[in-house]
Amino acid sequence: MEVRSPQFRQSAAAALDDARLQGALRQVRSRFIDKRAKGVASLPEFEALRENARAIKNHVLERLDLYLEAYEERVTAQGGHVHWARDASEARGIVLDLCRKANARVVTKGKSMISEEIGLNAFLERHGVAPVETDLGEYIIQLRGEHPSHIIAPAVHLNIGQVRDSFRAAHTHLPPDRAMEAPESLLAEARGVLREKFLSADVGITGANFLIAETGTSVIVTNEGNGDLTQLLPRIHIVLASIEKIVPTLDDMSQIMRLLARSATGQEMSVYTTLSTGPRRRGDLDGPEQYHVVLLDNGRSNMVGTEFQDMLRCIRCGACMNHCPVYQAVGGHAYGWVYPGPMGAVLTPTLVGVDKAGHLPNASTFCGRCESVCPMKIPLPKMMRHWREREFERHLVPADFRRGLKLWAWFARRPFLYRVFAGLGMTVLGLAGRRRGRFARLPLAAGWTAHRDLPAPQGGTFIGQWKRRRGAGR
């Protein structure tokens, strides 16, 4: 997927001007925030679980290699295969290879952000394999040739009218006068279309919410059950997962699981939780003949031991973006790559380079709401600040901003001169704004005054007045 993060500013401006998108983005508030709050409130031990979950992941990240090897061993012992992929292109190659060996023409897919990260769909299509997304949201955006704008609600940027139009355009085999008003009718329509695909697919690809080292199991959670059909019906099941998905035991998984759905949608549990351990065994009634896991690194092992290690605790619940005022204002596409919102602002620079994704960690007010809701207690603002430090060190900050900052800091470090100039400046500004109490336009403050007035200073500084009133001795 092309990285459009350098155009963040333009994309954000376009998003703010797009009335239909703004209407759709309202869903983020109504669908997620209150529900999460209720879900969390109904679980008194939520805070304790967060602490536990953090400890579990921190423990794993200290011994990532050991757990991954243990996991591989279990998978292999159960007749499955683990494929290690250093980067996106290796991962794509492995998947295509498996598809080719199986003579696969149609591949069904459960929801997977890793698939987005490696740009799998476009690659498979180019090589004659047809991927079919089976998660409703993913299916919709696949029809539209778009990318997800949210990590758990990929089509949240669309309204139902747009979905209806897409279905009408794509499902030409259905009667044009069919009922399409109710959301349920659209769901039923998608189900009908996808059923055919499930039955004709040669390979099923899913993501993984967890990999369990103890048992060699991969776990997915869905609300539609599409993941189960994707991985049970075809002959071959490929799991696409990144290395940080590993947890030691089933018990660890279930602890973190209690946080996941609550943080994401406020549900106690997602509707379906599916554990897969290897291919079909003799005597099993169903299951794939082959079970493959593609383990993607793509820069993650480089994060271990750095100030970005904490980001590897992320369980992709989406709470940080749901609660982010910037995400709520501009939506996910403005971020210009796979991962939007606060988690994307930290992750994207790691995966595509801060020179390209530099806007993202800057486009935050540091309000801290993301960190306060993150079930894994990831210090997102702090890590965005780390990115800003790297940018500052590498002179990636716009030159005029840097000069302004340096000038201000120069004065801030020289109290005497600061006093002289501040006193003077505020007296002048105070006099100029005395009658109206604010400025509608001011040179050097155009960004501010384009949208709001700038309150005028009262005139004179506090310190100046204090000195006069009390004498400088105190």
Partner 1 sequence: MQTTETARPRTALFVTCLVDLFRPSVGFAAVKLLEAAGCEVHVPVSQTCCGQPAWNSGDRADTRAIAEQVIIAFEKFDYVVAPSGSCAGMLKKHYPEVFAGDPAWQARATAFAGKVSELVSFLADEMGMAAVEATCPAKATYHDSCSGLRELGVRDQPRRLLASVKGLKLAEMKEADVCCGFGGTFAVKYPEISNAIVGEKAANVEAARPDLLLAGDLGCLMNMAGKLKRQGSAIEVRHVAEVLAGMTDAPPIGEGRR
Output DSSP code: residue 42: T
- Kindly list the distances between the CA atom of residue 376 and the CA atoms of 158, 240, 300, in Å, as whole numbers in the listed order: 29, 22, 17
| Contact indicator for 453, 440 with CB cutoff of 8 Å | yes
7, 411, 432, 442: which one binds partner 1 (CB under 8 A)? 411
Measured from the CB atom, the residue of 77 and 445 that comes closer to partner 1 is 445
Our finding on whether 126 is near partner 1 (CB under 8 A) is no
What pairing do the DSSP bridges indicate for beta strands 210-212 and 217-222?
antiparallel
* Residue 472 touching partner 1 (CB under 8 A): yes
Stretch that binds partner 1, among 204-212, 272-280, 338-346, 450-458 (CB under 8 A): 450-458
Residues in contact with partner 1, shown as a per-residue x/- string from 310 to 329 under the rule CB under 8 A: ---------------xx-xx
**Among residues 16 and 43, whose Cβ is nearest to partner 1?**
16
Rounded to a whole number of angstroms, the minimum distance from the CB of residue 24 to ligand SF4 is: 20
CA 406/CA 401 separation, integer angstroms: 9
395 near partner 1, rule: CB under 8 A: no
Distance of CA 171 to the CA centre of its chain: 30
* Stretch near partner 1 under the rule CB under 8 A, chosen from 45-53, 87-95, 273-281, 409-417: 409-417
CA distance 163 to 24: 12
Q: What is 223-264 written as a DSSP string?
A: SSSHHHHHHHSSSEEEEEEEGGGEES-HHHHHHHHHHHHHHH
Rounded to a whole number of angstroms, the minimum distance from the CB of residue 157 to ligand SF4 is 18
Give the separation between CA 13 and CA 96, rounded to whole angstroms.
38
Q: Do you know the residue count of the chain?
A: 474
Question: How many residues make contact with partner 1 (CB under 8 A)?
Answer: 71
Residue from 13, 66, 182, 187 in contact with partner 1 (CB under 8 A): 13
The residue among 275 and 407 lying less far from partner 1, judged by its C-beta, is: 407
Question: CB-wise, 251 or 389, nearer to partner 1?
Answer: 389
Please give the C-alpha separations between residue 18 and each of 12, 168, 219, 330, 367, in angstroms, as whole numbers.
10, 23, 38, 9, 25
Q: Which of 132, 247, 378, 456 binds ligand SF4 (CB under 6 A)?
A: 378
Q: Is 318 in the site for ligand SF4 (CB under 6 A)?
A: yes
Pick from 298, 393, 395: which is nearest to 337 by CA? 298
Residue with tokens 């006193």: 423
| 239 neighbors 218 (Cβ within 8 angstroms) | yes
Q: Which stretch binds partner 1 (CB under 8 A): 8-16, 69-77, 113-121, 239-247?
A: 8-16
- Interface characters, 142-181, with ligand SF4 (x: CB under 6 A): ----------------------------------------
Site for ligand SF4 in 334-373 (CB under 6 A): 343
Binding site for ligand SF4 (CB under 6 A): 263, 314-320, 343, 374-376, 378
